[in-house]
Amino acid sequence: MNTYARFPIAIEKGEGCRLIDTEGKEYLDFVAGIATCTLGHAHPALIEAVSKQIEKLHHVSNLYYVPEQGELAKWIVEHSCADKVFFCNSGAEANEAAIKLVRKYAHTVLDFLQQPVILTARDSFHGRTLATITATGQPKYQKDFDPLVPGFEYIPYNDIEAVENAVADLDEGNRRVAAIMLEPLQGEGGVRPGDIEYFRKLRKMCDENNILLVFDEVQVGVGRTGKLWGYENLGVEPDIFTSAKGLAGGIPIGAMMCKKFCDVFEPGNHASTFGGNPFACASALAVLQTIERDNLLENVRERGEQLRAKLKGIATKYPGIFVDVRGWGLINGMEISADSELVSPTIVNAALAEGLLIAPAGPKVLRFVPPLIVTEAEVDRAIGKLETAIAKVV
């Protein structure tokens, strides 16, 4: 179906941070499957893990215990603030699981007779299912899909006063705020990092008002920010958080993690046929263990600093065109001035012609999310290609 406005190339193979299309042209990949190919392409650790697992067992369903699933859940719990893990297949599914958990917690633990409400941020992105596009604070994703799922309200990002007002207003009616669901850094909303002081005040307010704090880490989790989890950049812990994209380096998997006190699911409440199958879990475990063994978080921090410094250098050459460079680790955005006629797809296409793959994050932001294994030389090469592309369109 015609659901993607695709770029005019077909990718045939890849290695590391390189991709080669069916015509033999080589590209430097700073999209990484949209922040998904954590270890790049054809990484030996992932090849070994999936090869061994497919020869042994790939699926049995969750009617039975899955040893690989248990091992992966144990690793995640030991390396995060979570106590429990639910596995599924995508970020949208992980967020759906979080939404269901919040609602059951509100009805059973908080004894809400009213309608529980989840506050989400404007310009957020939480997925493509009906519940998650409703949670997404961008009308363009919701257009023509009415009726949307009730129980969501929107607040500005990084604005604590707006949250306080929303909680107070809803508490006076027959609806109450049960959870606040946010991205630690907004990805599709323009690569906008969360403000540390805002999130600290938010955590305190949630504690005082029996409100669950939920973080969507589908794009920023699994080392993307230079920390294993995005919330580590903010100095607070969520009650529930979600992961997907980079968790298995490109093999489909999603996960919803929570603290023990809000784990109210019982048999029959929620399920996933493919979720947490041996193949996906073995892949995810290989990715996480490689991040830890190869100290990739240090590389993410160093290459992120290098990339932002180079992007800022380009921005200073074109002060009327670029207004900001921002991000954490290896998720970075370069914002185009609202007064400029240039839009991000124009530069993305120009970079494509130079052999560099980057992605837009809205009409006025360029997004750079290379594999976590990217090297210093590859960052320099990418910047050279980007400079050439920008010079041509400007």
- The set of catalytic residues is 125, 216, 245
Q: Is 128 annotated as a binding residue?
A: yes
Q: Is 169 annotated as a binding residue?
A: no
Of residues 332, 374, 298, 379, the one with CA closest to residue 40: 374
Q: Is 266 annotated as a binding residue?
A: no
CA distance 356 to 347: 11
Q: Quick one: how far is CA 329 from the chain centroid?
A: 13
CA atoms within 13 A on the CB side of 196: 5
Q: Is 344 annotated as a binding residue?
A: no
Q: Is 91 annotated as a binding residue?
A: yes
Q: Is 275 annotated as a binding residue?
A: no
Q: Is 153 annotated as a binding residue?
A: no
Q: Is 115 annotated as a binding residue?
A: no
For the chain, give the number of residues.
394
**Helices then strands (H, E): number in the chain?**
12, 17
Phi and psi angles of residue 29, each rounded to the nearest 5 degrees, phi first = -95, 105
Q: Is 70 annotated as a binding residue?
A: no
CA distance 257 to 72: 12
Q: Is 242 annotated as a binding residue?
A: no
Question: CA separation (Å) from 393 to 353, 359, 389?
Answer: 12, 16, 7
| CA-based radius of gyration for the chain | 21
Question: CA separation (Å) from 220 to 88, 248, 328, 355, 364?
Answer: 18, 14, 9, 25, 20
Query: Binding-site residues, please?
Result: 91-92, 125, 128, 216-219, 272-273
Query: Binding-site residues for N(2)-acetyl-L-ornithine, please?
Result: 128, 272
Query: Binding-site residues for pyridoxal 5'-phosphate, please?
Result: 91-92, 125, 216-219, 273
